Amino acid sequence: MILKSKNLIALFAALFLLLLGIQAYFMYKTYQVKEREIYRSVHNKLTQYTDNLEDRRGLKKASDESLQHIFIEYTDKKINKKDFLDLFEQNRKDNIDQLSNYVDKQFEKEGYKVAVRVEYLSIIFLPSNTNLLEKPIILFETRNKIVKPGISNTGNWQTSSKSTSDDDKKIIKNNSFRVKSQTDFEILNIKSIVFKELTLLFLCCIALLISVLVLYIFTVKNLIKQQKQVEILHTVVDNISHEFKTPIATLKIASKALKKDWNPEMLPLIERQISRLESLMQQLHKDETENEISEIQPEDWNFFIKDLAFTYPQIQFVLKNGISQQLPFDKNLMETIIKNLCENSVKYGSSIVEVHISSPQKKLEIKVSDNGQGIEKKELKNIFEKFYRIQSNNIHNTKGLGLGLYFVKKIIEKYNGKIEAESTIKEGTTFKITIPYEN
């Protein structure tokens, strides 16, 4: 079930990541579409105006000479390169305010910060196929400078004329030029504009993702909580099923003994085992009954060993009880500790089991020693794990589920105590328990 739950969590996480990716892709594409839409509107508003600027094909000069005439003069080397380029630079400066003011006014309402640039990429003198430009020159430009063009238009136009001599009027030269121009547009605050217009959509997408994530976390928490409840239920059932074995076995032996011969001493033993069974039954219904704890009395330790001795008559149990007062521990839990440790000794071939109980300096100390087969050192670190069993070459005839020592440690941890195990092969094992308490 745990593996299945982990698979479901992994699937849920994968689907959430997929949804996150889809949402991110959707928002990215929506951003691109909106950006193109805004650029398209800017382009449509400005294209005709920038085309008219270029169509004038004239540069401001003292004599208002035509652009064609300037090309010819430069080709004929009547003006040098510096003067030629200065004409374009001067034209850019003369028109920058007019162009900037026009563009700013067009998009004042929308709040767009638009940059425009018109430049000549090349001017080819066709008869010789010579490019008059070494690099592009800017013809018109706004005060806002282009950083990365959002959209660009390219255009080609051609101008031609014929030169004649002043004497005989004969055609002496064909002057043809092909000009390639490019107009760039950029909205410098495009990101803030798009995000502003798509804020509601983005917030809805983010809210959806957060809702799914919260639902996912809530579901996982509930699943973990249910798993813990199931684990607790299994632990309780395992514990009680394990604890049922001893009183039932003792009652069976007592019943057989009574059939053979009447013995008044059997009655207290039967009563103790019946009380233990009732206590285990109450654990199954602890949510329906009051949580009453029966604190352990000094004589209870004797009864624990007496019952074990009756159940396992072939084993010699030796008890040294140094307790003379009532202790603030649950009687049933202490009985579980003693009986599980002693039965564990019996399981692994012990013939003598010694139990020492004392309470020095507000501490309960329990020591259980046996002369059994012993446990290898590599096994000692694992013996308190749930369902763990010693390797087959060390196992005695008695079978088990590997729960006894696990429950012992859980009880000790509940009381903030500690347990230690020492063992020597073919000599025996000793368990030492220390549990602090206050009156």
CATH of the domain at 320: 3.30.565.10
In a domain, 344, yes or no: yes
Are residues 290 and 172 part of one domain? no
Do 346 and 394 belong to one domain? Answer: yes
Q: What is the pLDDT of residue 394?
A: 46
On the question of pLDDT at 63 being above 70, the answer is no
Q: Quick one: residue 52, left, alpha or beta (phi over 0 = left, psi -120 to 50 = alpha)?
A: alpha
Domain for residue 187, yes or no? yes
> Which domain-ending residue is among 151, 180, 197?
197
Question: Pairing between strand 114-125 and 137-141?
Answer: antiparallel
Q: What's the pLDDT at 384?
A: 85
Residues 6 or more apart whose Cβ sits within 8 Å of residue 195 = 31, 202
Residue type for 69, please?
H
Predicted confidence (pLDDT) at residue 167 exceeds the cutoff of 70: no
Q: What band does 47 get if pLDDT is binned at 50, 70 and 90?
A: confident
The reply to whether 274 falls in a domain is yes
Q: Which residues pair with 180 in a beta bridge?
A: 122, 156
158 and 278, same domain (yes or no): no
Residue 218 lies in a domain: no
- pLDDT-based confidence at residue 20 (cuts at 50, 70, 90): confident
Do 179 and 76 sit in the same domain of this protein?
yes
Task: Specify the pLDDT at position 113.
Answer: 93
Residue with the bigger pLDDT between 335 and 398: it is: 335
Q: What pLDDT, on the 0 to 100 scale, is given for residue 57?
A: 44
Do 235 and 190 fall within a single domain? no
Number of domains the chain contains: 2
Instruction: Using alpha carbons, list the distances in angstroms from residue 354 to 137, 226, 255, 318, 329.
Output: 105, 43, 27, 5, 22
Q: Do residues 435 and 364 make contact, with C-beta atoms less than 8 angstroms apart?
A: yes
Taking Cα atoms as reference points, which of 310, 313, 294 lies closest to residue 302?
A: 310
Per-residue pLDDT tens over the stretch 237-279 = 666 665 666 676 676 666 666 656 666 666 666 666 666 666 6
Together in a domain, 294 and 166: no
Q: Does 30 reside within a domain?
A: yes
pLDDT number for residue 79: 87
Per-residue pLDDT, 228: 74
pLDDT at 286 over 80: no
The highest-confidence range among 59-63, 362-366, 400-404, by mean pLDDT, is 362-366
Whether residue 241 is found in the same domain as residue 349: yes
Q: Which of 63-67, 104-108, 274-278 has the highest mean pLDDT?
A: 104-108
Same domain? For 144 and 253 the reply is no
pLDDT of residue 386: 76
Tokens of 260: 């053979």
Which of 153, 173, 197 is at the close of a domain? 197
pLDDT-based confidence at residue 188 (cuts at 50, 70, 90): very high
Same domain, yes or no: 243 and 193? no
Q: Name 40's Cβ contacts closer than 8 Å, sequence gap at least 6.
A: none
Q: Reply yes or no on whether the pLDDT at 355 is more than 90.
A: yes
Pick from 5-9, 279-283, 304-308: least confident: 279-283
Q: What is the pLDDT of residue 378?
A: 84
374 found inside a domain: yes
- pTM for this structure? 0.49
Mean pLDDT of 287-302: 73
In sequence order, what DSSP letters do the residues of 178-209 get, joined into one string?
A: EEEEEEEEEETTHHHHHHHHTHHHHHHHHHHH
Higher-confidence position of 139 and 5: 139
Query: Long-range pairs for 157-166 at CB < 8 Å and ≥24 separation?
Result: 157/181, 158/126, 159/57, 159/67, 159/68, 159/71, 160/126, 161/68, 161/72, 163/72
pLDDT at 105: 92
What mean pLDDT do residues 116-124 have? Answer: 91
Q: Around Cβ 350, how many Cβ atoms within 10 Å?
A: 24
Task: Compute the distance between CA of residue 427 and CA of residue 373 in angstroms, rounded to an integer.
Answer: 6
- 178 with 273, same domain: the answer is no
Mean predicted confidence (pLDDT) in 115-125: 91
Q: Determine the average pLDDT of the residues in 353-376.
A: 91
Do 177 and 295 lie in a common domain?
no
- Is residue 57 situated within a structural domain? yes
* Same domain, residue pair 16 and 64: yes
The residue out of 197, 212, 237 marking a domain boundary is: 197
Task: Give the structural domain span for 90.
Answer: 2-197
Domain membership flag for residue 211:
no
| Model pLDDT, residue 317 | 93
Percent of the chain with pLDDT over 90: 23
Mean pLDDT of 150-167: 76
User: Helix (H, G, I), strand (E, B), or coil: what is residue 321?
Assistant: strand
Question: What is the structure's pLDDT at 417?
Answer: 93
The answer to whether 386 and 438 are in contact (CB under 8 A) is no
